Amino acid sequence: MSTPISPLALSSYRYIDVTGVDAERFLQGQITINVSTPEDKTAYLAALCNAKGRIVSLFFISKIKLGFRLFMPQSIIKTTIEHLKKYGVFFKVTIEEAPAEARLIAFIENPNESNPNNRIKITNTDLSLKSFPNEGELKPLTTSNSIYTANSNCTQNDEFEWYWHLAQNKIPWINQDSVEQFLPHDLNLPKLDAVDFKKGCYTGQEIIARMHYKGKLKQHLQLLKGEFTPTILAKTALTQEDKKVGEVVCSICIKEKGVLVLALVKDKADIDDFFQLEDKNSPILKIEK
């Protein structure tokens, strides 16, 4: 029987609490999943969209006492709170960022084992989260758009492993540079159970539903892998034979493992061929099948 690896200390991943008597009713009209159905100690991928159906925030949501907790990269916390508060004034809710001393610890576990210590299981993955009031001083990371680097050599650490496992599960994330850039279908959210088409109205729902039932997608989210590279930013073009065939959504690099890229790739692209960035000296990227 396999055992969990050591806990992963997350410093650029935080959370927002939405609490109050109207918390469920409020979020039901704002996010892409049905908030009345989640089980306790489980976190579900969900999105907050603008009126045009474009994603403002992408996060994992779980139930807590008197409301819900939304886990996401620190870089989109402020934008998410500002967007929620525009609508929250009409409801009896409190929207608060995690206190400064709060810490998140992630675990990578055997999915067949029981969930110990009340960890919050991330659906469809072998990941779980646990929050602590104070885990001491964790080494801070610097963020640069969609890539996380502790230094110029991009050495391996806890934070990288978290994002690496998200990417392996084809679960994207967005940062401040990619707010309002993508539709849920661009990021494969319906297939990740992050959109409920039966729950009723929410902000952006009409456009998202129209895309689902009447739209013809010409590009899809793909996972690519390549050799180590220090930085790949969101919205960077992917090319084949000098022609743009896609764009980067997010990426993570670990020097010892290479780079994983989640990218929106046109269906007309040759998925058996290699991809490069616009810079011809960029690493070779191949789709992981």
- Could you state, in order of their start, the residue ranges of all structural domains in the chain? 8-213
pLDDT at 46: 98
In angstroms, the CA 257 to CA 273 distance is: 21
Taking 90 as the threshold, does the pLDDT of residue 139 lie above it?
no
Lowest-confidence segment of 28-42, 125-139, 144-158 by average pLDDT: 144-158
Sheet (strand 8-10) strand order: 8-10, 103-108, 127-132, 120-122, 42-49, 55-64, 67-73, 13-19, 94-97
pTM confidence score: 0.88
Lowest-confidence segment of 43-52, 166-175, 188-197, 276-285 by average pLDDT: 276-285
- CA distance between the termini of the chain: 27
> 119: pLDDT confidence band, cut at 50, 70 and 90?
confident
In angstroms, the CA 30 to CA 25 distance is: 9
Digit-coded pLDDT (tens) for 20-67 = 999 999 999 999 999 987 677 899 999 999 999 999 999 999 999 899
Lowest-confidence segment of 74-83, 112-121, 222-231 by average pLDDT: 112-121
pLDDT at 245: 96
Helices (H), strands (E): how many in the chain?
4, 17
DSSP-assigned states of every residue in 38-107? PPTTEEEEEEEE-TTS-EEEEEEEEEETTEEEEEEEGGGHHHHHHHHHHHHTTSS-EEEEPPTT-EEEEE
Average pLDDT over the chain, rounded to an integer: 86
> 91: pLDDT confidence band, cut at 50, 70 and 90?
very high
Taking 60 as the threshold, does the pLDDT of residue 177 lie above it?
yes
CA distances from 33 to 184, 187, 188, 200 (A): 12, 15, 14, 10
CATH 3.30.1360.120 fits 8-213, yes or no: yes
